[in-house]
Structure 1
Amino acid sequence: MQTEPVSVKSNAALTRRNQGLGWMTLAVASALLASTCCVLPLVLVLAGITGAWMVHLSVLKPATPYLVAAAVGALGWAGYLVFRPVQACSMEEDAACAVTRPLMRRLFVGCAVFIAALLLFPLIAPVFY
């Protein structure tokens, strides 16, 4: 039983893709936490979940600037990882890189639009109240 050694280049491409997904997840999570004062109560009410406990969702209001900075920073680093030129794909994995790179870019753009909507909602929300 001989196993072929895993190339270092393929591990680097896989690690970079996973890092990009991790940073995008961090950006979305911090944007959700940054908008808990406005978006989360609205979503919960629209889903039919109400109660006096929703007042406690404003506890994170003082941390909002830090969470916004974390979201923008994580999204920026994920963009760097996703959009920088591919140098880690080997010849036999060019087809796999050609498939996963556009998918990751689309996922990044979707996350960026979602995060922008979450972060801009507190600025636009007073228009609706």
Structure 2
Amino acid sequence: MAGDARRPKGFGAISLALGGIASGFLAATCCALPMLLASAGLGSAWLVGIAVPAAPYRLWFVAFGAISLVAGGVLLARQQMRAARCGADGLCVPASLRFVTLIGLLLAAVLLWLGYRYA
């Protein structure tokens, strides 16, 4: 039990960010990702195997991604407040973990916007 108290907090926000990235990716596979990859000079034929089964559920993926982003943003804000209150010897969420969470949430937001806008 004492080992759990020393474990850094913040993995819930990362999990929500990864869920948002996954659902944003699935929502954007039909239209936005092929356009982005083609404009970058990369092939996107491999997305057909993902896009066809995911297409009927695109709005569900967008909804799940939006919920994940909101919850991840709330957890990230709580992490920031906890880090601000943390003293030199307190248990804090590492700054690198907060930064990775923020980047993941931003990436998920872009993918969700692209999946909603271009489909």
TM-score w.r.t. structure 2 length?
0.67
Kindly tell me the number of residue pairs found equivalent between the two proteins: 114
RMSD: 3.4
Q: Which whole-Å CA distance do the structure 2 matches of 1:110 and 1:54 have between them?
A: 24
Q: Is 1:68 paired with 2:62?
A: yes
Superposition deviation, residue 59 in structure 1: 3.3
Identical pairs, percent? 22
Structure 1 pair 121/92, CA: closer, same or farther in 2 (3 Å)? closer
- Of 1, 6, 10, 2:2 maps to 6
- Of 87, 112, 115, 1:119 maps to 112
SS in 2 for 1:48: coil
Superposition deviation, residue 81 in structure 1: 2.0
Q: Which amino acid aligns with 2:2?
A: V
Q: Which residue of 2 aligns with 1:26?
A: 19
Unaligned runs of 5+ in 2: none
* Contact 1:10/1:93 (8 A) holds in 2: no
* Contact 1:21/1:78 (8 A) holds in 2: yes
Unaligned runs of 5+ in 1: none
TM-score w.r.t. structure 1 length?
0.63
- Of 83, 102, 111, 1:109 maps to 102
Q: Looking at CA atoms only, which structure, 1 or 2, has the larger radius of gyration?
A: 1
Q: Which whole-Å CA distance do the structure 2 matches of 1:125 and 1:34 have between them?
A: 10
Q: Which whole-Å CA distance do the structure 2 matches of 1:66 and 1:119 have between them?
A: 11
